[in-house]
Amino acid sequence: MIGGNLSKWTMSYFAIAIAWLVLGELLMTIGFGFPAAAAEAPDTLVVVHIVCIGWLSMAMCGALFQFVPVLAAKPLFAEGWQLPALVLLTAGLVALLGGFMVLGGHLPVWLWLLPTAALLLVTGFGLVVTDLAITVWRAHAPMGPAYFVIAGLCSLCATAGFGSAFAWSLAGIGRPDLSVLLKEGVPLHAIAGLGGWLTLTAMGVSYRLLSMFMLAPDVDNRRIRTTFLAGSATIGLVVAGGLLAIAAKTGIDLVLASAGGLGLITLALYGRNVVFLYWRRERAQLELNAKMAAWGFASLAAAVLLATVLAISGRFRAHVEAFAFLIAFGWLSGLVLAKLYKIVAFLTWIETYGPALGRTATPRVQDLVAEGRAAKWFGAYFISVWSGTAALLLDQPSAFRIAAFAMTVATVGIIQQLIRTRRLAEVAGPLRLPSGTHAPHLLYASV
Amino acid sequence: MRQNYLDLDVRPILRNGGEPFSVIMAALARLEPGQGIRLYATFKPLPLFAVMAEKGFAHAETELEGGEWEVLFTPTGIEAPATDSGAQPTDIWPDPVVRLDNRDLDPPEPMVRILGAAENLKPGETLSALLRREPVFLFPHLEKRGFRWLGGFTADGSTYELTVRAPI
């Protein structure tokens, strides 16, 4: 069979992911972590890992379980691994947050929490990576976007590897070299995670989703490959070069600066491909997901510009948090929320009305959403993210908390729209559940 | 009499990530009576063996250097009985009664139209459809409803040709 079956647990991954996002935003609203605490303080690590593992990685895994089989035109290697992976990742994240709370003095000194977290997260991500990588491997002729997924999965392994080393070191177990790695290697962990795993994977998936949803021709495979090579080289340089530099005790600044240049080239190549997709699209009227994804791309461009200006004026280190915030919330979260809005509607439509298609009148995918209402929440989300970035740049912690509160409200607004879609609440009465159809479950697909 | 084969090398199409199915089917339509096909592919084309057997061709494959394959499809003179229906004398698919050009439709409209037209087919009839993409989300629904299908991209990769046959 070909890879067009519905993934049973993708909705569950999305639901848990977005709940973590709200929790992360609430913590920023009450002033937990940066900027009230230092960027490397345990409280900040709690928020960062809620956002990067709980929200972004969970949402990405859910989307990949559905779309890697489509990219590879092969069924998923092991359908049965999705739920155990979800449980392991959730338990691992809870243990990790507990471990950081220990370091922050909020919990008794349970040093075993961090190594336990590392074990659970590595096992959970290990299941995800193995399942997806074997699925792509089995594809007869992997498409360009699939290469990005593989590079993203390799970066995930590197990120998890660094993270585990840190966890052992913080727990006081392991060799002394680990503490050297902990002292200098945190940027490598962050770049492999945000830049490698999340950004490279988002790039690969966006190529396919944008061309699918905007009716654009696929980007030429050669162009995709060039971008892929530049992106993989960037992350490879950061990980391998960074480790060598730490081992040779030369400091990692030179490696980071060269990787910054390569990363800039990657993003320029990617930007050119994205402009091509929007330019050559055949759908004249853009749907909300494509419009909002464009705001995500604009945030990425703004982050690149910000980093360049800060680097030239020698203030990058002082404002690296504002840059990371814009990457995490403007680019990655913005793009994921925009695509989630379409993916949830599409998967709900095919799950509910697929069996009745051609046999009776059924609604269109667009009948499941109310774009006008959702657009306001998305608008509020992006404006509050940009305001939050400005507040961080200007060192205004109170303004940042107000922006974080606005982000929380906007996210809850978007969640409400997703629930309405899943509940078929926007579909006009007679078309809502024609004979032969069943209302979908909110949190998983009935397959 | 020495068997006469039409040479067909689909390796360039496969190396470019294309789908050679429609080219093979076009070659099949060009064959003279009794003529076979000598196919060169970058892998052992297992799915094709079943399709060709249904069309009345036996296969003999030889592995070449570098993991590539040469396959001889030889007409057996008798078409194999259809796998799912013993009552069916041959399994040559009839010409489509409906032809859809869904290339300019917004997804998932192509899928909606194909399923709509498929539901109106009489037993054993076929429809053909042209699409921009491989309709991956359509296949599980065709399968659940007992339809069979054959599909592949044209050599230039711009159009996906799909033929759907109603259950007999």
Per-residue pLDDT of chain A (447 residues; tens, 9 = 90+): 456 789 999 999 999 999 999 999 999 999 999 999 999 999 999 999 999 999 999 999 999 999 998 888 788 999 999 999 999 999 999 999 999 999 999 999 999 999 999 999 999 999 999 999 999 988 765 667 888 999 999 999 999 999 999 999 998 887 777 888 888 999 999 999 999 999 999 999 998 888 888 888 888 888 999 999 999 999 999 999 999 999 999 989 999 999 999 999 999 999 999 999 999 988 888 999 999 999 999 999 999 999 999 999 999 999 999 999 999 999 999 999 999 999 999 999 999 999 999 999 999 999 999 999 999 999 999 999 999 999 999 999 999 999 999 999 999 999 999 999 999 999 988 899 998 899 999 999 987
Query: What is this structure's pTM?
Result: 0.85
Contact A262, A234 (CB under 8 A): yes
Asked if the peptide bond before residue B108 counts as cis, ω within 30 degrees of 0, the response is yes
State the ipTM, two decimals. Answer: 0.85
SS3 content of chain A, % helix, strand, coil (to 5): 75, 0, 25
Question: Which residues in chain B (79-138) have CB-CB distances under 8 A to chain A?
Answer: 104, 106-108, 111-112, 114-119, 132-138
Question: Ramachandran region of residue A5, left (φ > 0), alpha (ψ -120 to 50) or beta?
Answer: beta
Residue of A nearest to B119 (CA): A358
Nearest by CB: A141 against B14, B135, B144: B14
Residue of A nearest to B17 (CA): A141
Which residues fall within 8 angstroms of residue A165, CB to CB, at 6 or more apart?
A174, A178, A181, A182, A185
Q: Which residues of chain A have a CB within 8 Å of the CB of B106?
A: 215, 283
Q: Is A67 on the interface with B (CB under 8 A)?
A: no
- In angstroms, what CA-CA distances link A93 with A100, A337, A435, B39? 11, 21, 43, 54
Half-sphere exposure of A280 (CA within 13 A, CB side): 14
Instruction: Give dist(CA B79, CA B89) in Å, integer.
Output: 9
Q: Which residues of chain B have a CB within 8 Å of the CB of A5?
A: 140
Residue pairs between chains A and B whose CB atoms are closer than 8 Å: 57
Q: Is B17 on the interface with A (CB under 8 A)?
A: yes
What per-residue confidence (pLDDT) applies to B32? 82
β-partners of residue B60 are B72
pLDDT at B156 over 70: yes
CA distance A167 to chain B (A): 42
Q: What are A215's two structure tokens? A: 């009716």
Angle between helices A58-72 and A82-103 (to 10 degrees): 150
What per-residue confidence (pLDDT) applies to A263? 96
From edge to edge, which strands make up the β-sheet containing B126-131? B98-101, B126-131, B160-165, B148-153
